[in-house]
A and B are shown apart, each in its own frame.
Chain A
Amino acid sequence: MSALYGLMAEFDDPKAVVEAAEAARMAGYRKMDAYSPYPIEALSEALALPKSHVAKICLAGGIFGLAAGYGLQYWSSVIEYPMNIGGRPFHSWVAFIPPAYETTILFAAFSAVLGMLALNGLPQPYHPVFNVPAFAGASRDKFFLCIEAEDPLFDVEKTRAFLAAQPGVAAVEEVQP
């Protein structure tokens, strides 16, 4: 039985999955995840997800981009290849602002995206939840709550009974690993 990944409850309505997630958290379950075809803020709230780290990664990327962009211009225009262009100073800091501005945005944007993918563990070629045939609806119009076997409170019979008792539940299925 320990071979199971977890138990998955299917819902037709976004409100039902949010309420079920909240009930599961109240019951003490922690190792669980919900699945929905579109982002539902209340669901993050119900699962008590910690604040996302994407913003910090993005800020770090932006600061690095600013330093790298400005540094590149300073190094190439002052140290490596000083050119006298119409008597302007080698360190023409005003003119260096636009490229540094762009590299800041470039690195911040890529950090946000790559950071988001890394935090989510994507790309991920395989995941047990896809073993549930009905799960294809998670990208269309169905909502799922999966309590994982790793959770200390997980017990196939008790957890199944708990999920089946949730209002609005359409089905409870075992998730093979």
Chain B
Amino acid sequence: MASTPHVDPASAPIIAPGHTFRTVTDKIASIVLARRTPLHWFLGFAIAFGIAQLVLLTIVRLLFWGIGSWGVTVPVGWGFDIINFVWWIGIGHAGTLISAILLLLKQEWRTSINRFAEAMTLFAVACAAQYPLFHTGRPWIAAYWLLPYPNTMGLWPNFRSPLIWDVFAVTTYASVSAVFWYVGLIPDFATLRDRAKNKLMAMVYGVASMGWRGSARHWHNYESAYLLLAGLATPLVVSVHTVVSFDFAVGVLPGWHATIFPPYFVAGAIYAGFAMVLTLAIPLRSWYGLKDFITDRHLDNMAKVMLATGLVVAYGYAMEAFFAWYSASSWELFMIQNRMFGPYGHMYWALILCNVVAPNTLWWPRLRHSTAWLFFISLVVSVGMWLERYVIIVTSLHRDFLPSSWGMYQGTVWDWSFFIGTIGLFLTLMYLFVRFLPAISMFEMKTILPGARVEEHHG
């Protein structure tokens, strides 16, 4: 540590010195309340919103032509829809980890990144939801297949199916994340209400704040509810990707039917999520001058979490190969051989390069503390995690037990347009969020300022 020529971020304070209750409030609120929207915002929003139109285009095409416009066919009946679904859901997990688990662990540095990480969770889940919704090509059918409601046909879903568990897990996750986020926003809405110069904005924020006035009696109940939500979100987030992994693990296909799937998927989700948080945090803090709050120490901590979860994922890859060998099952052996050296071998090795080799450069403090390198690595990890889902899904399906039914899979233009479109949708929502809502939790930032804590007197 001492040998590095620059200041070690690990020992730096989590808020730059010199900030008070007033400066923290004004700095964060001014981004939202500024009359002038910065030019780079309009530019970025226009690009993102333009790309998001691909979602509409693809859905219209899908509803007219059916899923024939996608690449899925026998034997690969699960393609981009589930790859992208798992990818987006996984990204969402870091938001809940930061807002709930790190809160329970009293990791105070989480305070400045939890709000936008939670927003990221919600928007990622919104993107993920597009795929199961439209993957049948006839979304109205999904209603009675998936949701238990009394319909005129008298049908009920089959609760023994992991796909139904998935519906319960993901809808609960989306609902609880939204509520958690909103509860966190209530006191900040009150701040915006009191600070807004524009009458209309003051009214909108006032309604959203529900008349919050910062009463000690209210805070007392609020703190209790917030802690309970964190306690509930923690087992929830672990269950969501576990259930997603059950979609595979409960099946009997080689490469899917493995007990390591739940922990390996959860670690992968956090890994991908932290990569996305870094991808968003690095430009956000420099565009809006938030380096006092999202400090180098935050980036350093996130890089370490990413490295640690990356190693868990690497262990998962190693175990997949080991299980295949140790099982002595010819199907399992063939699957891993086909995955590594078959027609999709290049994707497997690209995934190893992205997810195992690249993040290990973060062991070196010099590289870890280079913002540009960290940003690059987080993009590489996002690509790697997408490849991982592609490899798991496609290589297990395309060559199953019967060689006569083997085939190849490739996404079509419409598969890609749907995927790229949801990235546009995600960025559009992020842009709107940064403009209209406080990207950093103001009231929580105040709790970690020096002098905020008052010692309790008893008696």
Contacts and interface: CB of A to CB of B under 8 A. Distances in A.
Contacts of A33: 215-217
B282 to A, nearest CB: 28
A51 to B, nearest CB: 9
B218 A140 contact: no
Contacts of A18: 454, 457
B216 to A, nearest CB: 4
Contacts of A106: 172, 175-176
A109 B221 contact: no
B229 interface: yes
Given A81-B154, A103-B168, A125-B211, A112 B216 contact: no
The interface residues of chain A, by DSSP majority, are classed as helix
B339 interface: no
Contacts of A45: 456-458
A102 B164 CA distance: 11
A95 B455 CA distance: 50
Task: Report the interface size class on chain A.
Answer: 35 or more
Contacts of A42: 454-457
A36 interface: yes
Contacts of B193: 139
Interface in A89-144: 92, 95-96, 98-99, 101-103, 105-106, 108-110, 112-113, 115-117, 119-120, 122-127, 129-130, 135-141
Contact of A105 (B158, B176, B212, B225): B176
In the complex, which of the residues A37, A54, A76, A99 has the most CB atoms of chain B within 10 Å of its own CB atom? A37
A37 B25 contact: yes
A60 interface: no
9 contacts: A22-B457, A39-B219, A40-B453, A45-B458, A53-B221, A76-B157, A113-B229, A136-B194, A139-B195
Interface of A: 14-15, 18, 21-22, 33-47, 49, 52-55, 58, 69, 72-73, 76-77, 80-81, 83, 85, 88, 92, 95-96, 98-99, 101-103, 105-106, 108-110, 112-113, 115-117, 119-120, 122-127, 129-130, 135-141
Given A43-B219, A52-B220, 20 more contacts: A33-B215, A36-B214, A37-B214, A39-B219, A43-B454, A52-B224, A54-B224, A58-B228, A58-B232, A77-B158, A83-B158, A88-B160, A92-B159, A95-B160, A98-B168, A98-B169, A99-B165, A109-B176, A120-B218, A123-B207
